[in-house]
Copies of this chain bind each other. A is one copy, B any other.
Amino acid sequence: MSAPRRIGVGMLGYAFMGRAHASAYRTLMSVPQTAAYLPELIGVVGRDAEAAAEAAGRLGFAAGGGDWRALVEDPRIDLFDNSGPNAVHAEPTMAAARAGKHLICEKPLGLEAEQAVAMWSAAEGAGVKHMTAFNYRFVPAVRLARELLSAGRLGEVLHFRARYLQDWLAEAPHSWRLDAATAGSGALGDLGSHLVDLARYLVGEIVGVSARADFRDRRPGAVDAAFQAVVAYRDGASGTLEASRCAPGRKNAMSFEINCEGGTLAFDLERLNELRWSEGGSGFRTVQVTGEDHPFGEWWWPPGHVLGWEHTFVHELAHLLDAIAGDGDVAPHGATFEDGVRAAEVCDAILASHRETREMEVRVNLLTTP
């Protein structure tokens, strides 16, 4: 057995997502299936250099600081992991691309499709690996759904309906003082982009949307609290996408149902170890996707020893490191920057449909090799 390929990692951001990524890098080191590569956590940066230094210790990075420009130039770094807020996705990521670093960036890729396209162009132009961190592709049950669909076992997809519901706005009704500048994106960008990516991963390209967005806070610059969309897919399927931050009792309730000619699959992120599955007209089987033969099943524990939300990052980052180490592709199971662009295009079309009160076509031929 040869020594593992060492891959230097530099990260921007040490809060919620940064900690999730960092923990995942460390956990994947002890997974036997990832023995071919080994992440080295070189440095983490943030706005507050001192806090970043403190975080570095906890998160397992060798150093922490405040200068992302130095980080993206650091020759020890092979992979730049942008886990920072949406507003700092574009510039550092594009700089890292120019420095020849492989890339992973949290979602949504850019603040809107145009910015995402620029990031994709930079990455493609530099010839590096690139991943948009749509981590729900790496839920074992979601991967299993994709495998079942790809194998044609259930026939053509007829309908896809997905919703992503949270309730923190409902619990804070007087704090709907959220605006795009300070609070980042609304339900559409934060939650809806996940749904759009899963729709594309599981069903295919979206060609039309008819949508409403809910701007409860009517001040200029306020973000949306919710949206609903009717969606048409290139291959004839149709369905709905919905997200809300004011659905009381729903904590992180991303769920979907896929009706195919020969069966139905259903998933709920709050029970992420389960896939519900009906075939041949019979009732729904609740499958615990923790078996040895299930996606990522051999990486972990005996059947029924459930995984958590964090494991999606272990799978995702391992997939990226494997692509880097083995010179393989991020696609189709990983979302590339192109997938990040396409999700942004659909989100933009949803907003346009809301404004124009009509169905909007989604352009699917935007990208050409830069």
A contact residues vs B (CB 8 Å cutoff): 16, 19-20, 22-23, 26-27, 29-30, 32, 35, 58-60, 158-159, 161, 163, 165-168, 170-171, 173, 208, 210-212, 214, 226, 228-230, 232, 238-240, 242, 244, 246-253, 257, 259-264, 269-274, 278-288, 290-291, 301-311, 353, 357-359
Q: How far is the CB of A217 from chain B (nearest CB, A)?
A: 13
A236 to chain B, nearest CB (A): 8
Contact at B166–A304, with CB atoms within 8 Å? yes
A301 contact set on B, CB distance < 8 A: 16, 20, 309-310
Determine if A163 and B166 form an interchain contact, defined as CB atoms under 8 angstroms apart.
Answer: no
Assess whether B284 is in contact with A249, with CB atoms less than 8 Å apart: yes
Candidates B59, B163, B168; contact of A161 at CB < 8 Å: B163
State whether B16 touches A302 (Cβ < 8 A).
Answer: yes
Whole-angstrom distance between the Cβ of A264 and the nearest chain B Cβ:
5
Contact (Cβ within 8 A) A283 B281? no
Docked Cα-Cα span, A261 to B226, in Å, equals 13
| From B22, B259, B280, B302, contact of A247 by CB (8 A) | B259
Residues of B within 8 A of A170 (CB): 158, 259, 261-262, 281
Q: A210–B230 contact, CB under 8 A? A: yes
Q: How far is the CA of A173 from the CA of B260 in the complex (A)?
A: 11
A358: B residues at CB distance < 8 A: 210, 357-359
A56 vs B147: C-alpha distance when bound (angstroms) = 35
Query: Could you say which of B229, B249, B262, B309 contacts A248, with CB atoms under 8 Å apart?
Result: B262
Asked whether, in the complex, the Cβ of B264 is within 8 Å of the Cβ of A240, the reply is no
Q: Which of B60, B210, B270, B273 contacts A270 (CB 8 A)?
A: B273
Closest to A309 in B: B305
A212 and B248 CA atoms in complex are apart in Å by 29
Q: Are B304 and A251 closer than 8 Å at their CB atoms?
A: yes
> Of all chain B residues, which has the CB nearest A4?
B57
Q: Is the CB of A247 within 8 A of B264?
A: yes
Q: Is the Cβ of B248 less than 8 Å from the Cβ of A259?
A: yes
> Contact check: which of B161, B229, B285 meets A285 at CB < 8 Å?
B285
Please give, as numbers and ranges, the residues of chain B lying within 8 Å of A249 by CB-CB distance.
263-264, 278-279, 281-284
Partner of A27, one of B27, B165, B307: B27
Q: How far is the CA of A303 from the CA of B208 in the complex (A)?
A: 33
Q: In the docked arrangement, what's the CA distance between A253 and B287, Å?
A: 13
Say whether A23 contacts B16, CB under 8 Å: no
Q: A283 near B287 (CB under 8 angstroms)? A: yes
Query: Which residues on the B side are within 8 Å of A244 (C-beta)?
Result: 158-159, 259
**How close is A266's CB to chain B, nearest CB, in angstroms?**
9
Quote the shortest CB–CB distance from A85 to chain B (angstroms).
Answer: 15
In the assembled complex, the CB of A36 is this many whole angstroms from the nearest CB of chain B, namely 12
What are some 22 contacts across the A-B interface (CB < 8 A)? A30-B59, A30-B60, A158-B170, A158-B244, A165-B259, A210-B211, A210-B353, A212-B232, A230-B230, A244-B259, A249-B263, A249-B264, A249-B279, A250-B278, A251-B304, A269-B306, A282-B287, A284-B286, A305-B308, A306-B308, A307-B309, A358-B359
